Amino acid sequence: MRRLAFIALVCALLAPGIAAAVQPDEILKDPVLEARARHLSEELRCMVCQNQSIDDSAAPLARDLRLLVRRRLEAGDTDRQVLDFLVARYGDFVLLKPPFKLETLLLWGLPPAALIAGLIALFAMARQRKTANLQPSALTADEQKRLSALVGPGTPEP
């Protein structure tokens, strides 16, 4: 019984990841156009979810974008023309992998710069820690008496 419950739990947890956001009424009759539409949908960012493609998102705006892509493909646009149309309308942010250019320099350069800055900070902290004076301070007279009482007489004083 436990095994069956475990299998049901795993299936329930995996089901949302398996489900696609594309609705049956969106699918094109031409399988070649549909394959192109799915490929393009995987390259486009959902403006609501932001880190999901419109192919994976169930947001209403993602659905509108999927339908727009399919209409453009049915009208005879190439993949490049569809992408150019969406970039002209929404900017490079609509692409999950924006091109490397001056406007996206911060987007591409910030993660490596943050990594390098973090490594430099770690190196500086390690070096500072290594060079810090780690000599113990001298014992006070009271601490020396307590130490002598604990250790016993005849031990050399530091």
Residue 53 DSSP one-character state: B
pLDDT at 152 over 80: no
Domain count for the chain: 2
Q: What is the CATH number of the domain that holds 39?
A: 1.10.8.640
Evaluate whether residue 5 is within a structural domain: no
Evaluate whether residue 112 is within a structural domain: yes
Torsion angles phi and psi, residue 77, rounded to 5: -70, 150
Q: According to DSSP H, which parts of the chain are helical?
A: 2-18, 31-43, 60-74, 79-90, 105-131, 141-151
Evaluate whether residue 151 is within a structural domain: no
Range of the domain at 32: 11-99
**Using 50, 70 and 90 to split pLDDT, how confident is the model at 11?**
low
Could you report the per-residue pLDDT of 28-73, keeping only the tens digit for each?
778 888 889 889 989 998 888 878 888 888 888 888 898 999 999 9
Q: Using alpha carbons only, how large is the chain's radius of gyration in Å?
A: 31
For the residues 93-100, what does the mean pLDDT come to?
85
pLDDT score recorded for residue 29: 77
End residue of a domain, out of 53, 82, 99:
99
60-74 and 79-90 are packed helices; what angle lies between their axes, rounded to 10 degrees?
140
115, 92: one domain: no
Structure tokens at 86: 């969406």
95, 108: one domain: no
pLDDT at 19 over 50: no
50, 73: one domain: yes
41, 108: one domain: no
User: pLDDT over 70 for what percent of the chain?
Assistant: 79
20, 75: one domain: yes
For residues 129-140, one letter each, b for 16 or more C-beta atoms within 10 angstroms of the residue's C-beta and e for the rest, the string is: eeeeeeeeeeee
